[in-house]
């Protein structure tokens, strides 16, 4: 999948576009490390590259992903999830993958985002 999607270049573009949206989002932006946006961008990029069959740099540097656990410090509400997905959708569309690849990627991202919700708080 990694190569079919366009390899490193695709993931750089995807995650960069995603964070442009997140940084402008009044709910999401405050959750992120304000002094390390670049690091956050790099961590998500490395994780997605690894997930889709690219280099395993993420786990080499960060260990086992355990993403739900790593998100526990942040209140991932349904609103936060929907905003996350909105910015990710814009990024996926901008990257412009073949429809079949895009559908598989999007299906994963949607499921992963739904699984990350960790608070029943509304909003
Ligand atoms: C890290 C928020 C969903 C993957 C983070 C961080 C925040 C955050 C605030 C810390 C930034 C950092 O320093 O790296 C959210 C919110 C989500 C969401 C509000 C809404 C559903 C997801 C999903 C994935 C994901 C669906 C995977 C497909 C990651 C990864 C990290 C991360 C890989 C870095 C973990 C680490 O190594 O420390 N997320 N996230 N996130 N997120 Fe999310």
User: Which residue is listed with tokens 């786990």?
Assistant: 59
Here the ipTM equals 0.97
Report residue 12 as tokens.
Answer: 């750089």
Q: How far is the CA of 38 from the centre of ligand 1 (A)?
A: 13
Give the atom of ligand 1 at the shortest distance from the alpha carbon of 58. 37
- Which of 29, 40, 44, 80, when mutated, tests ligand 1's pocket best, judged by the most ligand atoms within 8 Å of its CB? 44
Reported as a single tens digit per residue, the pLDDT across 96-120 is 999 999 999 999 999 999 999 999 8
Give the atom of ligand 1 at the shortest distance from the alpha carbon of 43. 34
43-72: average pLDDT: 97
Distance in angstroms between the alpha carbons of the first and the last residue of the chain? 35
Answer whether residue 122 shows pLDDT above 70. Answer: no
Q: How far is CA 67 from CA 74, 93, 96, 102, 107, in A?
A: 12, 24, 27, 22, 17
**H-helix or E-strand spanning residue 71:** none
- SS3 breakdown of the chain: % helix, strand, coil, rounded to 5? 65, 0, 35
Give the atom of ligand 1 at the shortest distance from the alpha carbon of 65. 37
Answer whether residue 77 shows pLDDT above 70. Answer: yes
């Amino acid at each position: 999948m990694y190569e079919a999607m366009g390899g490193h270049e695709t993931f750089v573009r995807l995650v960069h576009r995603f964070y442009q949206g997140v940084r402008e989002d009044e709910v999401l932006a405050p959750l992120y490390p304000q002094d390390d946006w670049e690091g956050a961008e790099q961590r998500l990029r490395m994780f997605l590259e690894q997930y889709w069959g690219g280099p395993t740099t993420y786990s080499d540097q960060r260990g086992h992903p355990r993403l739900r656990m790593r998100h526990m410090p942040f209140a991932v509400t349904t609103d936060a999830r929907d905003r996350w997905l909105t910015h990710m959708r814009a990024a996926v569309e901008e990257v412009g993958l073949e429809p079949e690849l895009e559908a598989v990627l999007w299906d994963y991202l949607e499921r992963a985002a739904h699984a990350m919700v960790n608070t029943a708080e509304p909003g």
